[in-house]
Amino acid sequence: LAKTTQPISMDSYEGQEVNITCSHNNIATNDYITWYQQFPSQGPRFIIQGYKTKVTNEVASLFIPADRKSSTLSLPRVSLSDTAVYYCLMNSGNTPLVFGKGTRLSVIA
Partner 1 sequence: KAGVTQTPRYLIKTRGQQVTLSCSPISGHRSVSWYQQTPGQGLQFLFEYFSETQRNKGNFPGRFSGRQFSNSRSEMNVSTLELGDSALYLCASSSGTTSDTQYFGPGTRLTVL
CB of 41 to partner 1, least distance (A): 6
Is residue 66 near partner 1 by the rule CB under 8 A? no
Q: Which long-range contacts (CB under 8 A, 24 or more apart) does 31-34 make?
A: 31/2, 31/68, 31/90, 31/91, 31/92, 32/90, 32/91, 32/92, 33/62, 33/64, 33/68, 33/71, 33/88, 33/89, 33/90, 34/88, 34/89, 34/90, 34/91, 34/97
Is residue 30 near partner 1 by the rule CB under 8 A? yes
* Residue selected from 28, 80, 98, 108 as contacting partner 1 according to rule CB under 8 A: 98
* Residue selected from 46, 58, 66, 109 as contacting partner 1 according to rule CB under 8 A: 46
Footprint on this chain of partner 1 (rule: CB under 8 A): 30, 32, 34, 36, 41-46, 49, 87, 91-102
